[in-house]
Amino acid sequence: MPTFRYVAQTQDGREVRGTVQANSRLEASDTLRKQGYWLLELYAEPEPATPLSAAHQKAWQPLFGGIPLKAQAVFFRQLATMLSAGVPLYQALDTLGNQRVHPRLRRTVLEIKNAVLAGERISDAFDRYPALFSPIVRALIRVGETAGALERTLRQISDYLENELELRRLISRVTFYPKLVLFFAILIPGMVPALITILGGQGGQPVGQVIGDILMRYLKILGFVFGVWAVYRLAMQSHSLRVAWGALLVSLPWIGFTYRQLALARFARALSALYGAGIPLSQAIRYAADACGNDYLTERLKPTASKLEAGRGIAESLRESGVLPQMVLDMVATGENTGEIGFMMDKVAEYYEEEGKLRSHQAGYVLGVVVFLGVAIYVAIIVIQFYAGYFSALLGGANAP
């Protein structure tokens, strides 16, 4: 009989974890609800891994297995629109699944549709894919389904994903010029010697051989860059390495402070969406901490949830995390006193996003200048080396008997 692992809350708000044996996910969820648990996550224990499946999970999935954030945002927006128009859930999933361009998303949506037709709750169906849909998305779907407000919750998910996408686009925009300069810094120095060889007159190598050498050189560079990227992605599967990397990022001068602001903007935006959807505040903080995208900050923020469950105030608990400035803590305290935590967290997110955008643009300009100067020095060194060798050859020829 299959074994299902669950995360649930008791009626007094305690979080419990465990396993239950059942013939299906529907039977497992019914069993847990009869025990008085508020189900948060439920997923089947993986079957014994074959070498192929283990390689797919450990190597292929971290590198190429995700679904683009833009595709997710569009899907949830369209699903909410179809539900508001009165289209049955299974039909909306079938229509949207067949319209998806991304193959992984298309296959996943159609599998969710089949699970819904088989009698599963849509939240349980989404819980099958923790590697594709974040804990925030799955928690919001569960709350919306339980409260009978799935359409509104799907719109909240889409808004949240679009805000996250805008932050990522901001980072891409401000780093585009430095990346472009760096690309040409790698490209041009390899092209100049080859052109000199081709145009340098007699004794040069054949054109075909020179072009082949150029292509081989750049293939090696691309292979090196891909190797570094792959090693980084695979290394980030280790929790301890992610925490250490996150601590390093937030400790960098200038860039680290900007990175911290954008990460805390994600936290505040996620907390506002989760709390506004009706998720208990302690659980909302746990999910929102995962959303900030930095494991070091996540580890600092998550203990806040346990302190809330012990009866302490949210402002006091967040102050002890040591990651929020006093102004933000004052805004949180105001929201706590007035019962407007969700509204205040939205304001915190807006503040951090605006500050992050400003500092990101400034950092982008500074980084562009630094990269440009570095490339200029690099090119100057190549030119000096070329002319030094050229004049050395001339002087050597002149002094020859």
Inter-helix orientation angle 326-338/314-321, to 10°: 160
Report d(CA 274, CA 295) in Å as an integer.
Answer: 20
Structure tokens at 40: 């948060």
| 236-401: CATH superfamily | Type II secretion system (T2SS), domain F (1.20.81.30)
pLDDT band at 81; cut points 50, 70, 90: very high
Q: How far is CA 37 from CA 2, 17, 119, in A?
A: 20, 11, 20
pTM score, two decimals?
0.61
91-113 residue pLDDT tens = 999 999 888 778 888 888 998 98
Least confident of 6-10, 86-90, 182-186, 396-400: 396-400
Fold match flag (68-167 vs 236-401): yes
| Residue 82: closest CA among 69, 97, 68 | 97
pLDDT number for residue 325: 80
Q: Which residue has the tokens 């193959």?
A: 103
Sketch the domain layout of the chain as residue ranges.
1-56, 68-167, 175-235, 236-401
Kindly report the average pLDDT of the chain as a whole number: 78
Q: What would the mean pLDDT of 322-337 be, rounded to a whole number?
A: 84
Residue 377 burial by CB count (10 A; 0-12/13-18/19+): exposed, middle or buried?
exposed
Q: What would the mean pLDDT of 274-278 be, rounded to a whole number?
A: 78
| Residue 35: closest CA among 13, 14, 4, 8 | 8
Q: How far is CA 260 from CA 43, 140, 272, 317, 323, in A?
A: 33, 25, 18, 19, 9
Q: Which residue has the higher pLDDT, 310 or 119?
A: 310
pLDDT at residue 199 tops 60: no
pLDDT band at 400; cut points 50, 70, 90: low
Do 170 and 357 meet the contact criterion of CB atoms below 8 Å apart? yes
Q: Which residue has the higher pLDDT, 380 or 254?
A: 380
Least confident of 85-94, 183-192, 210-219: 183-192
Give the class (CATH, top level) of 68-167: mainly alpha
Report d(CA 197, CA 169) in Å as an integer.
Answer: 42
pLDDT number for residue 225: 80
Do 114 and 129 meet the contact criterion of CB atoms below 8 Å apart? no
| Sign of the torsion angle spanned by Cα atoms 18, 20, 24, 29 | negative
Do 378 and 189 meet the contact criterion of CB atoms below 8 Å apart? yes
pLDDT number for residue 78: 92
pLDDT number for residue 158: 87
pLDDT at residue 59 tops 60: no
pLDDT number for residue 202: 46
Do 76 and 158 meet the contact criterion of CB atoms below 8 Å apart? yes
5-45 residue pLDDT tens = 888 888 887 888 888 888 777 788 888 888 888 877 777 66
Structure tokens at 56: 């797919």
pLDDT band at 139; cut points 50, 70, 90: confident
Question: How far does CA 177 lie from the centroid of its chain?
Answer: 22
pLDDT band at 222; cut points 50, 70, 90: confident
pLDDT at residue 308 tops 80: yes
| Residue 313: closest CA among 291, 335, 343 | 335
